[in-house]
Structure 1
Amino acid sequence: MVGQCAQHKPFGPLLLIHLCLLHPGASEKPHPTPRLPAEEAEPLQGIRGRSVELACGSGPAPLVVLWSFTPLGSVVPRPVAVTDGVTFKVEPGASALGIVSLQNSSLVMRELREGARGHFLCQALHASDDQLHTTYSYFTLAVLVPVSKPQVRLSDASPVEGASVMATCTVREGTEPVTFAWQHQAPQGPGEVLVGVKEPMLWLDPVNRTHLGWYMCSARNAVSGLSSDRVFLDVVYGPDKPVVTVEPLGLTEEGFWASEKEEVTLSCLAASNPPSHYVWLCDDTQVHTGPTYVIARASRAHAGLYTCLARNSYLDTRSQTSVQLTIYYPPAGQPSCAVLPAPAAVTLLCTWPGGLPTAQLQWEGPYGPGPTFPSNATWTLTAIGLPNGSVFTCVGQHPALALPALCRATLWEPPQSPTCRTTATVGDQFILLSCEWPGGAPPATLSWFDAQGRPLGGSSHSQAFHMLRAWGKLAGREFTCRGSHPLRIPDVQCQLQLEAPQLTVAEPRVSVLEGGEAWLECALHGGTPPIQLLWLGPQGQQVEQSTSKFVLHSEGAQLRLQIQDADPAHHRGTYQCVAHNAVDNSSRSVLLEVLSERVAGLCGYPVPPNVTISRLTYRRHRREVQLQWAIQGPGNLTGFLVQQRASVPGPGAGAWETAASDIEPESRDRQLGGLDPGVLYAFRILALNHRTTGHPSEVKTPVDPPFSAYPAVLGAAGTGMVVATLASLLVFQYAARHPQVFPRMEMPTSTPSSDPTPESTDDPVNVTITVTATP
């Protein structure tokens, strides 16, 4: 290669090919860059700060690929990168385009810069049929710039209503075209509202109070879109003419009225920004400053002409409104309605005294209105023919009331019928007869009568009581409570008959085995409440819930006595179920027999055969034992019971605990777990024939199985456990007997010998191990 290509040999063959592709030919005369027609160049778009990849053709991999770049407005290409398929080189000046790299023959630019706008040329050298030829790929790259965050500026942030305001939205950068949109949010508005202007400038001419609020613009181009921060436009205006309201609201031809002794609130509101300052005048005398004037307790002295002055301190403008307040004197509270019973009639009462002027009252009912009365209206009606639920309304008219004041009375009879019951009082010395028939208007009238129809005391409304002294002749006596109501014909009644308690027991004789559980059941079948149920023991003492081995179960009218772990010496005998009320007492007896287990065995369940333990060995890590046993002699059995306890040498062994109780009668072995390796246990086994047990077996402690590698457990709970390992001693013994196996093991002696006599391998070696256990 000659000419210009030959001058760059110091840069290596790869750069040499690079330059020769840019300047083909051997002469030093520069050649123009080959170009395609403009319509053949592939237009591409990239986004600043992102990545773009330009692919150099397709087909088989080229020998050499050269990328060059021609900026916009220039005709001189600049080398960017070159590769021979194995290595590649990027020109340092290519950093103006972004972070440039080659992936195979494709040009990759990350963090794209605006300097990458222009034309890219890919020249690829291919070998085909032992000939070299070059292919070209052209790209026109446009780098788009995202729009920056818009900023909003107001020509006047606090204009006076009627002035002109211009809002400007600007962006620092962004590829054109950029479109704009405006949003407005009022201080109390539901949300942002599009203004409809799509220009960077928003004119408010003239500005008014509806324009007050936050403004925000958004800018968008083909790449991105952003919104500005909110800017507040504070429109200054007012004050408008004040609007005065009075609560409670009462209107007259002159203005407002209010009731004496009521709280009266006068409120003034004049639209203004900034908010108005208010001053209240009463007959040209200042009485308050602020938008609300509260008269805590109105009186006639508060009547007059009230004027509200409103002032805008920013604009120094004023406005005012005046109203007349008149004080009226209605009767206090509300009308009061009542219904009183009368013979075959009802009397309606409506009262509402006081007031200026006096209130006018009138009753209105299902058959029309009644007469009108001042302050007090009384109306008597025949109850015959009045339907249940009839509503009567007392209407009170007064100038101080915007609406009539009402009270209502509803005539209705009590539901159902009277209810009678008895209650014992003062230690059952008295019986209280109670009769109730609640509800109704007017309320029902109740009276007590004896069996001969003679009245017992006077009558009362809704409830009636009569007290009787408890004595032995009350059983069987009857009493009647009679109830009357204007709307209920004829009268209704309820009756009571005093009765002594009636008792039954489930079984008069109950038998239970010694140590078993007995149930004594007693049921109440009648009697005048309240009734107390209790059990008395064989010695006549009352059985309490806290008494040992006794449990009481109360279920409705039943009282069951549960006796646990029955003992003949303490529990057998006659028990009394006693019922007591204010009329009389009653009782029933139950005989409890507690049978000894030995007696029961002779009668029903023979004593089972005896059992002996044939084997008791430890298993895994001394946490389990394997128990085997055998039975001695004939006898019936239904299972076996295994017991265990901690066995401490000497007196003081632990109590026996059940280790297994669900062992089938045909079983002869059982594996027991859950043991503590540091505790020495003792076991015994018994045969069972239902509830009859045989004699316990002998007590044994478990031993290690043959050839067990586990150490023995020394001591008991509370002492340390010492493990003696004999392996090293056995090795020492074997080495002493067979020195030819361990030739280097020498035994130190007090007198060296040059020719020691070997010992017989059959002679025993005595080894003494001393183990000391420290508590």
Structure 2
Amino acid sequence: MVGQRAQHGTFGTFGCLLIMALCLLHLGAPGQALMTLSTPGEKAMSLEGVRGSSVTLACSPGPDILVVLWSFTPLGFLVPRPMAVTNGASSKVEAGSSALGVVSLRNSSLVLEELREGARGHFLCQALHVSSGQLHTTYSYYTLAVLVPVSKPQVRLSDPSPVEGISVVATCAVREGTEPVTFTWHHHAPRSPEEAVVGLAEPQLRLDPVNRTHLGWYTCSARNVVNELSSAGIFLDVIYGPDKPVITVEPLGFTEEGFWASEREEVILSCLAASNPPSHYVWLRDDIQVHKGPIYIITSAGPTHTGLYTCLAYNSHLDTRSQNTIQLTIYYPPEGQPSCAVLPTLGAVTLLCTWPGGLPTAHLHWEGPWGISPTSPSNISWSNTTTGLPSGSVFTCAGQHPALAQPAFCRVTLWEPPRSPTCWTTITLGDQFIMLSCEWPGGEPPALLSWLDKQQQSLGDPSSSTAVYLLQTQDDLAGREFTCLGSHPLRVPDPRCQLQLEAPQIAVAETLVSVLEGGEAWMDCALQGGTPPVQLLWLGPQQQQVEQSTSGFMLYPDSVQLRLQIQDADPAYHGGTYQCVARNAVGSSHRRVLLEVLSEWSGHVCLCGYPAPPNVTISRLTYGRHRREVQLQWAIQGPGNLTGFLVQRRASVPSPEAGAWETAANDIEPESRARRLGGLDPGVLYAFRVLALNHYTAGYPSEVKTPVDPPFSIYPAVLGAAGTGMVVASVASLLVFQYAVRHPQTFPRTETATTSSSDPAQEPAEAPVNVTITVTATP
């Protein structure tokens, strides 16, 4: 028995007490006959306990208690499980009873603390006691129900941001709680001080359809027999709108069309459209946006503020919009004075007078040498011939308005422009067009100018003060004459000016050039006349154009000369006839030069050392942008070997000896003939020179030159010549250039003109046509 107790320590005292209780309940005392057990009436009781709380189950002990045995039968089971036993002196609780909570015996009562849900079931207390010399058994029955408090409810929305009109379901969920559980729904609108009960009993709240009145915070309360808890609030954001805006105007004034306000008053336009999220507002005046926001303030109303005002409300979430429009009229008198103008017409003039604005409109009429014109509102025109009308005649336009005590006036004076028209030509757009320009500024009204061909046929519509006509280049333009005819109502007879076009003329320095094989040859071509701009180019023996990138050739251009250098002359490759070709928009000319490359000298050629560096000349020195840089070009003359170039500069002063030379560039390759030099002070006039280098030996310095401004552009020249009155005409002429480029068929010609893109090899060999431009003016 001792060994068994050691192996099963968990049985211990509880086992002994349990065996003793069973023995006493069913057997007599030792050595005695079997005793009769008395079982008084059984008692049954239902109890409720809350999970986590405590419950005490009492057992009627009676007098002379011998033993008390508690057993537990879980719900759904039939076999009871012993839980605790006591004989009054000692007690024992089964270890497995912890599933019910913290179990203990207090005398004969069973105490359940920190009650668990596993304590649901039937409890039986069996008490054995002696009464009147007999053993009696008392039974106590308990049915225990464990109640679970409701957990904190949580609210879920089927759509937290629904669009007005759809169905929304709000669900109140509790994780646990003894049934029955009842629910209560509360709604707190954003601008309401109190909550409203919107649902009872059910765990779901259906809003079908949802509308803007449902917007706000929703909470639910869950309740059972144990407790009641409320959820945290959840916001239902109902999306709607915008409704049609409501527009108010301050100060308030009504007209048949809408609202009105006085000039220089502050006008406040307010717009409100119900929407969630709140609307974005845009104000339009006559379909042009003038403001963003619900309130548009016109600080000082004027005539320009009259119009239709539209408030556009936009819901960015729904991408919906609505609008409302009102008419706002600003009452005002006409501003300033009447405006007078004169339009030129052939043999007559038209007087114009306008004075717009005002409510009501002003009435106008003309007065002058012709009498008094009829009256007209807002604007008036009056035409008549100028026969016998002297220069300096004055015409007055009188404007009358009810708001003014005195009429308002404007005047025009007709006068003849001085002198006579002047005309000139300009070549533009890559020599594709010749622009004939004519100007006769001054006069009121301005003079009309027209271009005529040699047969006195008009070349376009007359224009005011300045006339421009475009000619597309063609071969037969050389020697052609053109006339600009001026017309003014006060000038008789009509004055005119004429001009004539001229083809280019060139000359070469030598027609025969001889050079030893491997040496250098130089050919010079100079421009002697012609309508600028003129293009100069050289053609090789195979009639191909010599480019700067052509191997063995170097070109040195300036404004009136083009030099060609041939390096390492080869009789098979370089020998032959070269042509210098000159082209402009009128025509072209050329000159031939024969190059002989000699293979041998009749003697011995000494190659015993390096030749000295060649001489250098500056061919071009022009300023760049803002006079902070210069573009330098140079050429070499004569034989000599070189390994590079050196550029020096100094401030140009009256005395050549004053000022030290400083190096501007010393890393120039021997094949370079140009360099852009920056870092200049625009306020200093510099002088430059170039030296050729052969290893460590420098040649003679070039001549000293100071930079000049680059050649002028055609457009500033046209505008500068035309003066202020020609700005509009010049812009129009530039548009004509573009139109002519895109529509060459508009300018007919008999033969395709020779341009820089033509094949130079096809130039005729005849001498150029000598054409002289002659400009004359006749009164």
TM tier, shorter chain?
0.3 to 0.5
TM-score w.r.t. length of structure 1:
0.38
Q: Which of 1 and 2 has higher RCO (CA within 8 Å, sep 6+)? A: 2
